[in-house]
Structure 1
């Protein structure tokens, strides 16, 4: 986790992250230290044996994310209940274990209640504590940090002065403006500004129920989390927590009301975390606000308390309710009129409303020639002025940031097809313009 607003070297940053991870989530050394009921741990071990057949202690350490000492405690308990049997040692001399007939029956019964077979979950209380300690707001972003993080983007300075304070705020942020002005593109790059890593639990326990949180499609681990775990205590943080880059979850028109709640898969009999829980300690971007399957009004009604109090309330299929931190940067992006989406009371709750618009000519020029260089195209200043004066100004088309990449992309396709020199000409501009813009 980032300790200060200084810009440490990459190696220093990794060292700090590793040090903090060890302090935040020390490796448990006993069943009590895991914070999980012994019965839950036993059932999970039996389910792993049920699916794995015959396993060594080392294999169970990797599958469950707890030390060999704790596994041995569980083995002793299971053997006392006649659920586990010793099998012939492996070629390497490692003792192997399998379910007895009674253990097989019990494991199948446990699987009917819950199909979860992953790492040992972490208790909800521990998750809530660590999640709040990892808040990005504990280390405020400065102008220099934002400028460095977004240096690959061409942005007006006044926009940076609005975005930076918004990221440090605890309030949601609405970014609005015409299509193609770079709203979504900017949001997708904001994680580069945060730059540090956080601990994400593989799963959390709500009583005896387990919700999987870690999603490999969203959470990008910064290392392999020590796949070859040792049987005894080793240095490092609790492997039930995976060190990842701060998550960036983007959802658009596919968003439904169900995605905001804990989801139960009746086939696998497992619970999956809602999008806001997966995005905790990172950024959640709701793109194209107003085009979701849930209305903007329904969405804001659902999140009134989370947006104001930074805590959310969820429930399990059993009806059990619980509270989780709502510790994320919440961004809304839309090209619709905000006043037509929600009323003034909701807009007030959003806190920051940042308008994106067309660029001035110097910034548009910078993007144009930047894209030319990326695509290996040569363009004279005369051709650029021809585009601006005889097309944008004459036809009253604003200088929108997405136009250079789109227009030059079409020109590149024309050049490849016609086997022309990679040079922007009046003819190519005319052809690209007529293809890109719908004629009145």
Structure 2
């Protein structure tokens, strides 16, 4: 059995998989080798047969190539599964296609078996990977192998107008295994910086379509979270029949994930979710974010309290492993291999007590920009919006509005104010030039008296 259950072998299984994983190089084709037999998939024949007949029912009539593409398995493995299904009288031959490929459909018995398979689990997609392989690959792909240096930080964020003091604080924190709390007033660029942290990591990682635990399938790949690498395209049937090229196509090659959640976060989103309508299991947020960054924005605004959240993650934060449960009682362990960021507009001491704050490791305050950086950002935004602006007009903004109202130089202001200026120019069919009157109008509409 490939699943890791809550028994005395739990830690041993994980440790063994990690030790074996370190023997491999980090190229995708070696991290996830293509299986050539049913045994090498790490999955039971029963699970694969059930997935096969569900695909045939969905397709109505299918060829080996169709099923190879749907299951992300080689034609040889699919043919072996078809032979077993034929012996069970679940599949029957249909007239060959015009290109000579044999076509197959479910028999009456096969239809009933497919309906029974759907009633237990509605997942229809590429074959999953066994949990032990997932643990191994995630552990090897850790972002901790990438050393964040001052040179790398400066090169990545040179155009983002953050102070050297701030980037010098964030950089070492990213080399730590501890989570990071960033705080400061709204608009100082907390979320903006976090959403750009993935630029520090130039490599791609493998994300499985789904994983298998005790013949249960949990869907992991989420197109809303996982961004396919540029070189990645859908595996065509020709590639699937060539076992000498590429990695196991049950895995997607993606950029390191960046998952952002805010006030919508609930406790249930941190656990395996079962959809009773589709009868499918979905991975929790932290599992989808493995090998990447998980940003919990607006900490303190969620339905789950910070204390409840930290209580849920005491073990993951300290031991970098998480324990999950399925509704049917199966429980298992996965790596907690991600950079965890918390962002808040509130005072850290008002969120949790000192004991929890110690576990966060780094607490970094964001402050408004200096006047020099604010001016640079202003003219960069002007260039992006194809607007011209003189230094005199910028000084008018500072002296007439910022200094009089004592508004800090927040990095959100240039983009927001100049967007209103641009809207006014388009509406009134004016030349794309920022002047004092347009700034007055933008300021009036942007701020509440």
TM-score bracket relative to the smaller structure = over 0.9
Q: Which ranges of 4 or more aligned residues in structure 1 deviate by more than 6 Å?
A: none
2:47 matches 1:37 = no
Distance 1:148 1:226, change over 3 A: farther
CA distance in structure 2 between the aligned counterparts of 1:421 and 1:251, rounded to whole angstroms: 41
Deviation at 1:298, TM superposition (A): 1.1
Alignment counterpart, residue 76 of structure 1, candidates 70, 77, 83: 83
Deviation at 1:232, TM superposition (A): 4.9
CA distance in structure 2 between the aligned counterparts of 1:406 and 1:51, rounded to whole angstroms: 49
Alignment of 1:284-363 (within 5 A): 284-363=294-373
2:278 matches 1:271 = no
Deviation at 1:147, TM superposition (A): 2.2
Alignment of 1:22-101 (within 5 A): 22-101=29-108
CA distance in structure 2 between the aligned counterparts of 1:207 and 1:43, rounded to whole angstroms: 14
Deviation at 1:420, TM superposition (A): 3.0
Alignment of 1:396-415 (within 5 A): 396-415=406-425
Deviation at 1:78, TM superposition (A): 1.4
Report what 1:240 is aligned to: 250
2:399 matches 1:389 = yes
More displaced stretch, 141-150 vs 36-45: 141-150
Alignment of 1:156-195 (within 5 A): 156-195=163-202
Report what 1:154 is aligned to: 161
* Gap runs ≥5 in structure 1: 1-17
More displaced stretch, 399-408 vs 18-27: 18-27
Deviation at 1:151, TM superposition (A): 3.2
Report what 1:136 is aligned to: 143
Deviation at 1:319, TM superposition (A): 1.2
Contact 1:225 1:243 in 2 (8 A): no
Corresponding pairs, count? 422
CA distance in structure 2 between the aligned counterparts of 1:309 and 1:19, rounded to whole angstroms: 23
CA distance in structure 1 between the aligned counterparts of 2:46 and 2:186, rounded to whole angstroms: 55
Deviation at 1:19, TM superposition (A): 7.6
CA distance in structure 2 between the aligned counterparts of 1:112 and 1:435, rounded to whole angstroms: 56
More displaced stretch, 120-129 vs 47-56: 47-56
* Gap runs ≥5 in structure 2: 1-24
SS of alignment partner, residue 405 of structure 2: coil
Alignment counterpart, residue 212 of structure 1, candidates 206, 219, 226: 219
CA distance in structure 1 between the aligned counterparts of 2:431 and 2:275, rounded to whole angstroms: 56
Contact 1:67 1:231 in 2 (8 A): yes
TM-score, normalised to structure 2's length?
A: 0.91
Report what 1:108 is aligned to: 115
Structural RMSD (CA)? 1.5
CA distance in structure 1 between the aligned counterparts of 2:162 and 2:414, rounded to whole angstroms: 15
CA distance in structure 1 between the aligned counterparts of 2:370 and 2:278, rounded to whole angstroms: 54
Contact 1:116 1:269 in 2 (8 A): yes
Report what 1:226 is aligned to: 235
Contact 2:69 2:235 in 1 (8 A): no
SS of alignment partner, residue 109 of structure 2: helix
More displaced stretch, 379-388 vs 40-49: 379-388
CA distance in structure 1 between the aligned counterparts of 2:149 and 2:76, rounded to whole angstroms: 46
SS of alignment partner, residue 394 of structure 1: helix
SS of alignment partner, residue 281 of structure 2: strand
